[in-house]
Amino acid sequence: MQVKFELVTYDDAIDKFEQDDNVYLLELDDEQTQTYNLLKDKDLSLYNWFKESEFFLNWIKEEVYPKSVGKKIAISDINGISFLRFYFFKVTSGDIHYEYFKKMFDILHELDWQDREDVGEEILERLVVKRQELIIELQDDAAQIALSDSNSNA
């Protein structure tokens, strides 16, 4: 099957993400398709599977961003499953994102007093850490292998 990806690039110096306006297509083999179908309802599990898969990283380095060692990217959409909220959430973002992050970060629901601005600030604080987990740094092959080894040993 074919999977459509949208990506963002991350600039360390200004701590900002920028949308890459292209849509990239990746062909999955049968085994990968099976895994995709198993994980497609769990957005972050799906994200992490791609992030940690050699075939995906190789595709990014060889076809999407060739000769870009050191570049930092993140996935913003996988076949319509959006991750934009992780990079661009603001206090003025919609309620649906608040609900998503409140559940993810275990921000308890004291509706009778919690203030939108307060909750929004707390989400932004937590996202500082979460974003770092999502960023993919493109390495040369040897470093990428070492990185994935250390990840699997962690």
Partner 1 sequence: MDNKYINKMLAEMDKDLSSKGLSRREAMKMAGISGASFFMGGASSAEAAEEVAPASVAKGKIVIIGGGLAGMSTARRLTNFLSNPDITVIEPEALSVSYQPGQTLVAAGIWEENDIAYKRDEYVPDGVKLIKDKAIAFDPKNNTVTTASGEVVSYDYMVVAAGLQLDFERIKGLEAAGRAYSAGDNKKLLDALGDSISSIYTAQGATKTWEQMQKYIAQAKQAKPGEKVQFVFTHPGTPIKCGGAPKKIVYLTNARLKEAGARENADLTYYPAGGAMFGVPEYHDAILEQFKREGFKWHYRHDLTEVEPENKIAVFDSKWQEKGEWDPQMREFEVIGKHEKLRVPYDFLHITPAQLAPREIAESDIGSAKGWVPVNKETLQHIKFRNIFAIGDIAQVPMGKTGGSVRKQYKVLVENLIAEMEGKKLPAKYAGYTVCPLITSIGTVMLAEFDWTVTPTPLVPLDPTVERWMWWLMKVYALKPMTIYGMIVTGKA
Residues that bind partner 1 (CB under 8 A): 19, 82, 84-85, 87-90, 92-95, 97, 108-117
Smallest gap from Cβ 35 to partner 1, in A, equals 28
Which residue lies nearer to partner 1 by CB, 56 or 101?
A: 101
Give kind and range of the element (H or E) at residue 25. Answer: strand 16-27
For the CB of residue 59, give the shortest distance to partner 1 in the complex, in Å. Answer: 25
DSSP 79-125: TTEE-HHHHH--TTS-HHHHHHHHHHTT----TTT--HHHHHHHHHH
Determine the Cα–Cα distance for residues 118 and 64; give it in Å rounded to an integer.
39
3-class secondary-structure state, position 41: coil
Least distance in angstroms from the C-beta of 116 to partner 1: 7
Closest CA to 70 of 22, 145, 9, 131: 9
Beta carbon nearer to partner 1, 27 or 117: 117
CB of 76 to partner 1, least distance (A): 9
